Amino acid sequence: GAVVSQHPSRVICKSGTSVKIECRSLDFQATTMFWYRQFPKQSLMLMATSNEGSKATYEQGVEKDKFLINHASLTLSTLTVTSAHPEDSSFYICSATGDGDQPQHFGDGTRLSIL
Amino acid sequence: GDSVTQMEGPVTLSEEAFLTINCTYTATGYPSLFWYVQYPGEGLQLLLKATKADDKGSNKGFEATYRKETTSFHLEKGSVQVSDSAVYFCALSDFGGNTPLVFGKGTRLSVIA
């Protein structure tokens, strides 16, 4: 089946650091990727929708200058949390889908902890 | 906007017990409905889906029927196993795969031997 690789799986870093998370589709062309955020014991909340070669569409309340998304190729999207602070600590998870009515395939997520 | 409500957990069952996890939704159109499962330390995996009213999705002994009249998509399994212990998410999508999913809060299931 389709595989989405997300890296790193866990990051612990100091406040003020910028952190980049990669999401790769390994065996299909991902025309659309989604970035979600999951707080403890909460649901996944959509942060942004990313289409290859165009700017990401951010959900209301998500700071685009804080969460930089790049989808430069059909197999890779990156989320950079700039100048991260403790309140940015969360579980970030990406999903990818191809053309048409293809199902979304999820990465294993990245647990980000900002000290 | 669209929303998904699923029963609060955690749910603890003995092996071979019957499982029901309730899920109801609110949507403006005719969404596709999904159940995803998240095993400890892993990402989400699609468990089953249904794309129109009265469709039944099934996989690994789990079933859910798309009930338009009650706007529900309850997950059931006749006999759970320890290996079914995970968090289960109900979700909907309005226009198919390349639109974002709206998730419920998730229900943690623990099955004890």
**Which B residues in the span 20-49 are in contact with A, Cβ-Cβ below 8 Å?**
36, 41-46, 49
- Whether a cis peptide bond, with omega within 30° of 0, leads into B31 is no
Model pLDDT for residues B13-49, shown as the tens digit of each residue? 999 999 999 999 999 888 999 999 998 877 888 999 9
Model pLDDT for residues B42-83, shown as the tens digit of each residue? 788 899 999 999 999 999 999 999 999 999 999 999 999 999
Q: Which residue of A has its CA nearest to B38?
A: A108
What tokens were used for B91?
Answer: 């979700």
Tell me which long-range contacts A72-76 makes (C-beta under 8 A, separation of at least 24): A74/A25, A74/A29, A74/A30, A74/A31, A75/A24, A75/A25, A75/A26, A75/A29, A75/A30, A76/A22, A76/A23, A76/A24, A76/A25
Q: How far is B105 from chain A (nearest CA, A)?
A: 4
Could you report how far apart the first and last alpha carbons of chain B are, in Å?
A: 41
Model pLDDT for residues A25-81, shown as the tens digit of each residue? 998 888 899 999 988 777 889 999 998 888 899 999 999 999 999 988 889 999 999
Beta carbons of A50 and A56 less than 8 angstroms apart:
yes
Contact flag B43-A109 (C-beta cutoff 8 Å): yes
* Strand ranges of the sheet holding A76-81, from the earlier edge strand across to the other edge: A4-7, A19-25, A76-81, A67-73
Q: How confident is the model at residue A2 (pLDDT cuts 50, 70, 90)?
A: low
